[in-house]
Structures are given as structure tokens and as C-alpha cells.
């Protein structure tokens, strides 16, 4: 009821009419006050009281309306005041009769039919009391005025009820309009989401590369969903790293961050990718890259990990500006579709790469096994047969054949070892040292050759590809020392830091002139050293070969851990 009345006061002019009627009803009293002598008090004082009451009601209408709506008994004060005015101004002959109807009309206005009846019931005895104290009047006048006390409020209550129903219907229409507008907005949002998902699906079928998919995802988040900026980072499954950061709209201040291993200590963003949990950033280490972390901490972000089934694909960071539940829901839908598009593209690229590598490995292994290995086995078998057929007096020939057989056996072992090395394995620091020891011993048998290992840092934290590269370089350097230095041992120092791997192989052998030994036209024995240099250069590192005749040799190699060469998303 209170809400309905407040709505009525705000939306119609009925109360203005009541105030106008209250002032207009004083006109008969104003014109008649000089000619009256039967008032119980001076006519001027009665008029002054009525005017004062009108002024108070007009000035303080809002608080008085609120009081009447909350406490209906307040209206009884006005009824008593009206009865008092009639009593002191000649009763039934009073010019204030129309003025006395004001509280009856107010009751009908505030409380409709119930208020009209209640006000009439209360005012009737007050009117009879005024009739008792007032002058004489005929029966017709008495009945007319008494009928007016009942009929006028009832007639006024009926349009008040209609007004209430109209306002209620208008409120219901406004509520229905708001609901329809909200549903329309939700439908528009759902339609926009479907369009974005459709576009991403089409792009998934015809995307030329991963970068195009990244750009389309960022465009969907910013341009179509209306977020100010977004950042996406990709997971390289082959190297188990996160990198390839891309921002939209482009900003010159956005740093070029290095790839980082997928380990929880590398920041909350990486931890979210590993735990598959979204969060809103605060004052925390987001990524273990000083420049990128400082840039990200300038804003608040909603971090959404992107996963394709159990495989981490990447992470989407959206600036938290005007984020609502509806917009977050739309963002999650787009992020899921983005994970599907990006993840499928990454897996296709990674699968193609793995298949190509695996196919090439199998081809090389098969070629060696079917050609070289079989030929060497045939040589060994034939030489063994020749040794048995030779006469006892052919000692020198027998000695030469035995040496030839030993050489063929060595070549056969070398080929078998090469075939084994082509297959992938989990290379730990322990296997690294054991494999190198076995390899060098097979290179220089029957002469003994030892290796003194010294390693610091976490070799096992390196990516599988980088560990294999370090192994190949160490293998070639130690083989060169075992075969050509004349020394009985070599020292291998391996240091792994946060940014680079340092490998040094030294011996105290006969040494050589590096410039002459590395010349293709002069000497081909040291082709492996040239291979080390070229491999280091390809990996973005350096290889320094320091040696002098009769002064030993030192091969120092530096390889960056976070190599910015051609990768999956570059």
C-alpha cells in the first residue's frame, strides 16, 4: 500500500487537486465573514485558523502525506479540526461546509472506498455536534448536507480506485518492458557469442598459422566483447614452455618476454595453467620475467587458462574493466572455444613435427641397419672364414686379417651405437655421464681413457632438446680428445645457470693449430670440431677452440637456455 501511494504521488496530479480544493473551499467563508454574527468566536479568527491550516498543509505536504500513509489516525486530526470549524462558525449554516469536506476527500484519496466510509462514519457525529451548537436550519438542508458527507467521498473514492488500478497496470507494463528488454539483451549477447564461436570455428578450419588464430581470439575478446585489452600466451608442448606472448590492441610498451618452463615457481599465471584455475590478479608475482611482470601489474586481469582436454594450450588475460557475471560468462564461452581452436592447431603442428622427426629417424635407422650394418657383418663373417682357411705358415697374412676383423668389429659397434642414439630417451645427468664414458671407451680401445666430470646447476631442468644438443657436443669433443690428443684423460665441466649452459672440455695432450685443423682444404680429421661450431651457432651460442702444439686443448661452448630462434609459434 505504501509503495502504491508513493507511486501515485509521483505520477499523477490528484494531490494537486486536493490542495487546490482546500484553498478554493475557503472562498464562501471569505465573502461571508463580515456579515456573520452568530459565530462562537470572531469570524476573522476562524478564517485565520483555516488559512493557517492550509498554509501548513501546502508547505509540508510531503512529510504530512507520508505520515498519513503510514499512520491513518493522523487524518483524524484534520477531521476534528474541520468539525471544530463548523461548530464555531454557525454549524449547519456555516460557510465552511465545503471546507469541512477536505479530510473526507483526503481519506477517499489515500485509502479509496474504505477510507471514504471510515472518514464519513467518524465525521458524521462531529457534524451532528456542530449542528447542535449551530443555528437553526430546515430539514432539507440538514439531509442534503448529511448526504453530501457520505456521497461526495464515495464518489471521489471511485476515481481514486481507477487511478490506483491505472498506476498499477502502468507499473506492471514497465516491469514487463524491463524484463523484455533484459531478455532481448540476453538474446543479443547469446547471438553475439554464437557468431564469435562460429567465426572461430571457421578460422579453425582455414587458419594459415597459429599467429592468425591468436590474433582472431584477441580480436573476439576486445573488439566484439568490448574489453579494453587482452593478452594471450601459448604453451609449446615440444619444449614444455610458455611464451609467444601477444597483446591486442598492440602497445609499444609491451615487452618481448622470453619463454619460461612450465613450472609453478615461474609465477601465478603459470601456476594457473598447470592447475587449470582462473583468478583475478592482485599484488603478486604473475610471471617470472621482470619486465612482463611489471607491465602486467599496472592493471587488474582476469586470468583464464586454456586447456584442450588434459593438455594445457595457453593462457588468456583480459583486463578487468566493467566485468559483470554476464560478460564473464560470455568470456568463458569464448575462451573455451579459443582453447579448442588454439589447442587443435598446436596439436596438429606438434603432431606433424613429431611425425616428421620420427619418420626421418626411422628412415635413417633403417638405412643404416639394412646397408652399412649388414655389410660390416658380412665383412666380419668373411674374414673369420678366411682366417680358418689360411695355412699355418701364412702368419703375416693371418695377422693382417685379424687386425682387419677387429677394425670391422669396431665399425659394426659404432653403427649399432649410432642406431641406438637416434631413438629418443630421457637423458638425465647420470645417463649423460655414463653414456659419454661408454662412448669414449669404445672409441679408443684397447687403450684406457678416463673422463673427470664436474657439473653444477640443474641439468635435468633443461628441455629435452637442449640436453640432447649438449650431449652431442660433449660426445664429439671427447671423441676428438680420445682419438687425437694422445692424453689418457680429459676434464668435462658443465655449468647450468638461469640463462645459459656452459660446457668446457680440456685435455693435456699434444694439441694442434686450430686455424689449420679447421680448414676444410687442409685437414679433414677435425670435421667434428667444425660441426660443434656450426651447431652452437645455429642454437644462438658460441664455441671457442683454444689449442697450441704440445700445449693441450680447450673447447668452451656457451648455449642460451631461452633461445629465440624459430619455434612453434614464431
Look at residues 492, 404, 392 and name the one whose alpha carbon lies nearest to residue 440: 492
Look at residues 481, 501, 462 and name the one whose alpha carbon lies nearest to residue 553: 481
Higher pLDDT, 309 or 473: 473
Radius of gyration of the chain (CA): 50
For 476, the enclosing helix (H) or strand (E) is helix 464-484
Q: Mind giving me the DSSP string for 178-246?
A: HHHHHHHHHHHHHHHHHHHHHHHHHHHHH-SSHHHHHHHHHHIIIIIT--S-EEEEEEETTTTEEEEEE
Lowest mean pLDDT among 277-291, 380-394, 493-507: 380-394
Using 50, 70 and 90 to split pLDDT, how confident is the model at 191? confident
Q: Give yes or no: residues 261 and 150 share one domain.
A: no
Domain annotation covers residue 365: no
Instruction: Return the number of other C-beta atoms located less than 10 Å from residue 351's C-beta.
Output: 11
At which of 319, 350, 381 does a domain end? 350
- Reported pTM: 0.40
Domain region containing 541: 425-570
Using 50, 70 and 90 to split pLDDT, how confident is the model at 151? confident
Domain annotation covers residue 192: no
pLDDT at 350 over 80: no
Look at residues 250, 325, 313 and name the one whose alpha carbon lies nearest to residue 276: 313
Q: Give yes or no: residues 322 and 461 share one domain.
A: no
Q: What is the pLDDT of residue 457?
A: 92
Report residue 200 CA to chain centroid gap.
18
At which of 350, 373, 404 does a domain end? 350
pLDDT at 327 over 50: yes
Lowest mean pLDDT among 36-45, 212-221, 296-305: 36-45
What percent of the chain clears pLDDT 90, i.e. is strictly above it?
12
Any residues with CB less than 8 A from the CB of 276 and at least 6 apart, and which?
305, 307, 312
Average pLDDT over all residues of the chain: 78
Domain annotation covers residue 193: no
pLDDT at 330 over 80: no
Q: Give yes or no: residues 159 and 75 share one domain.
A: yes
81-85, 137-141, 457-461, 528-532: range with highest mean pLDDT: 457-461
pLDDT tens-place string over residues 154-184: 887 877 777 777 878 888 888 889 988 888 8
Taking each helix axis from N to C end, the angle separating 374-389 and 395-422, rounded to the nearest 10 degrees, works out to 160
Domain annotation covers residue 359: no
Domain annotation covers residue 361: no
Lowest mean pLDDT among 100-109, 198-207, 315-324: 198-207
Using 50, 70 and 90 to split pLDDT, how confident is the model at 362? low
pLDDT tens-place string over residues 225-258: 788 899 999 888 778 889 889 998 888 889 988 8
Higher pLDDT, 108 or 421: 108
Domain annotation covers residue 166: yes
What total of structural domains would you count in the chain?
Answer: 3
Give the long-range contacts of residues 402-405, CB within 8 A, separation 24 or more: 405/380
Q: What is the pLDDT of residue 287?
A: 92
Contact 207, 48 (CB under 8 A): no
Q: What pairs with residue 279 in β-bridges?
A: 303
> In this structure, what is the dihedral angle of CA atoms 11, 12, 15, 17, given to the nearest 10 degrees?
160
Domain annotation covers residue 479: yes
Q: Give yes or no: residues 155 and 216 share one domain.
A: no
Q: Give yes or no: residues 149 and 211 share one domain.
A: no
At which of 293, 318, 350 does a domain end? 350
Q: What is the pLDDT of residue 526?
A: 45
Q: Looking at residues 341-357, what average pLDDT do you find?
A: 63
pLDDT tens-place string over residues 251-293: 888 998 889 998 989 999 999 989 888 888 888 898 999 999 9
Residue 97 burial (10 A CB sphere; 0-12, 13-18, 19+): buried
pLDDT tens-place string over residues 33-42: 665 556 677 7
Domain annotation covers residue 74: yes
Look at residues 522, 530, 474 and name the one whose alpha carbon lies nearest to residue 502: 474
3-state helix, strand, coil in the chain (%, to 5): 65, 15, 25
Q: Give yes or no: residues 84 and 151 share one domain.
A: yes
Using 50, 70 and 90 to split pLDDT, how confident is the model at 4? very low
Domain of residue 223, CATH code: 3.30.450.40
Q: Give yes or no: residues 162 and 308 share one domain.
A: no
Amino acid at each position: 500500500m505504501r509503495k502504491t501511494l508513493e507511486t501515485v504521488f509521483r505520477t499523477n496530479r490528484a494531490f494537486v487537486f486536493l490542495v487546490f480544493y482546500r484553498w478554493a473551499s475557503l472562498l464562501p467563508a471569505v465573502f461571508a465573514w463580515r456579515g456573520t454574527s452568530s459565530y462562537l468566536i470572531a469570524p476573522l479568527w476562524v478564517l485565520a485558523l483555516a488559512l493557517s491550516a492550509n498554509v501548513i498543509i501546502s508547505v509540508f505536504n510531503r512529510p504530512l502525506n507520508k505520515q498519513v500513509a503510514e499512520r491513518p489516525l493522523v487524518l483524524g486530526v484534520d477531521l476534528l479540526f474541520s468539525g471544530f470549524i463548523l461548530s464555531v462558525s454557525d454549524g449547519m449554516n456555516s460557510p465552511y461546509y465545503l471546507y469541512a469536506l477536505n479530510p473526507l476527500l483526503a481519506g477517499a484519496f489515500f485509502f479509496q472506498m474504505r477510507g471514504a466510509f471510515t472518514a464519513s462514519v467518524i465525521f458524521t457525529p462531529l457534524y451532528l455536534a456542530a449542528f447542535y451548537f449551530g443555528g437553526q436550519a430546515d430539514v432539507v438542508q440538514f439531509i442534503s448536507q448529511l448526504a453530501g458527507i457520505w456521497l461526495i467521498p464515495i464518489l471521489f473514492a471511485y476515481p481514486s480506485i481507477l487511478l490506483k488500478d491505472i498506476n498499477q497496470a502502468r507499473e506492471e507494463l514497465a516491469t514487463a518492458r524491463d524484463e523484455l528488454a533484459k531478455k532481448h539483451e540476453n538474446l543479443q549477447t547469446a547471438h553475439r557469442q554464437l557468431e564469435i564461436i562460429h567465426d572461430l570455428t571457421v578460422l579453425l578450419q582455414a587458419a594459415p598459422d597459429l599467429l592468425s588464430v591468436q590474433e582472431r581470439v584477441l580480436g573476439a575478446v576486445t573488439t566484439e566483447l568490448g574489453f579494453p585489452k587482452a593478452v594471450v600466451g601459448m604453451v609449446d608442448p615440444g619444449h614444455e614452455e610458455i611464451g609467444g606472448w601477444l597483446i591486442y590492441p598492440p602497445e609499444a610498451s609491451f615487452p618481448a618476454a622470453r619463454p619460461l618452463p612450465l613450472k609453478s615457481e615461474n609465477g601465478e599465471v603459470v601456476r594457473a595453467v598447470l592447475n587449470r584455475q582462473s583468478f583475478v590478479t592482485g599484488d603478486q608475482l604473475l610471471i617470472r620475467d621482470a619486465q612482463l611482470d611489471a607491465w602486467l601489474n599496472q592493471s587488474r586481469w582476469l586470468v583464464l587458462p586454456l586447456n584442450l582436454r588434459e593438455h594445457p594450450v595457453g593462457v588468456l588475460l583480459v583486463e578487468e574493466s566493467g566485468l559483470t557475471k554476464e560478460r564473464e560468462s560470455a568470456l568463458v564461452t569464448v575462451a573455451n572455444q579459443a582453447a579448442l581452436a588454439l589447442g587443435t592447431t598446436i596439436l596438429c603442428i606438434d603432431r606433424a613435427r613429431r611425425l616428421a622427426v620420427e619418420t626421418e629417424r626411422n628412415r635413417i635407422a633403417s638405412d643404416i641397419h639394412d646397408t652399412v650394418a649388414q655389410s660390416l657383418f658380412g665383412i666380419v663373417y668373411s674374414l673369420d672364414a678366411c682366417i680358418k682357411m689360411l695355412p699355418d705358415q701364412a702368419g703375416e697374412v693371418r695377422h693382417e686379417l685379424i687386425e682387419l676383423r677387429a677394425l670391422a668389429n669396431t665399425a659394426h659397434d659404432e653403427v649399432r651405437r649410432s642406431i641406438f642414439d637416434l631413438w629418443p630417451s630421457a637423458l638425465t645427468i647420470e645417463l649423460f655421464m655414463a653414456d659419454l664414458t661408454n662412448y669414449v671407451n669404445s672409441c679408443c680401445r684397447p687403450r684406457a681413457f678416463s673422463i673427470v666430470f664436474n657439473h653444477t646447476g640443474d641439468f635435468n631442468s633443461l628441455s629435452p632438446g637442449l640436453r640432447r644438443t649438449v650431449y652431442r657436443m660433449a660426445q664429439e669433443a671427447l671423441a676428438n680428445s680420445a682419438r687425437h690428443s694422445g692424453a689418457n684423460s680429459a676434464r668435462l665441466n658443465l655449468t647450468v645457470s638461469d640463462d645459459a649452459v656452459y660446457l668446457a672440455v680440456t685435455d693435456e695432450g699434444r694439441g694442434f693449430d686450430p686455424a689449420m685443423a679447421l680448414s676444410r682444404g687442409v685437414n679433414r680429421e677435425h670435421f667434428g670440431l667444425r660441426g660443434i661450431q656450426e651447431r652452437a651457432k645455429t642454437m644462438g651460442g658460441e664455441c671457442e677452440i683454444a689449442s697450441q702444439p704440445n700445449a693441450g686443448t680447450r673447447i668452451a661452448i656457451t648455449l642460451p637456455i631461452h633461445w629465440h630462434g624459430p619455434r612453434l609459434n614464431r
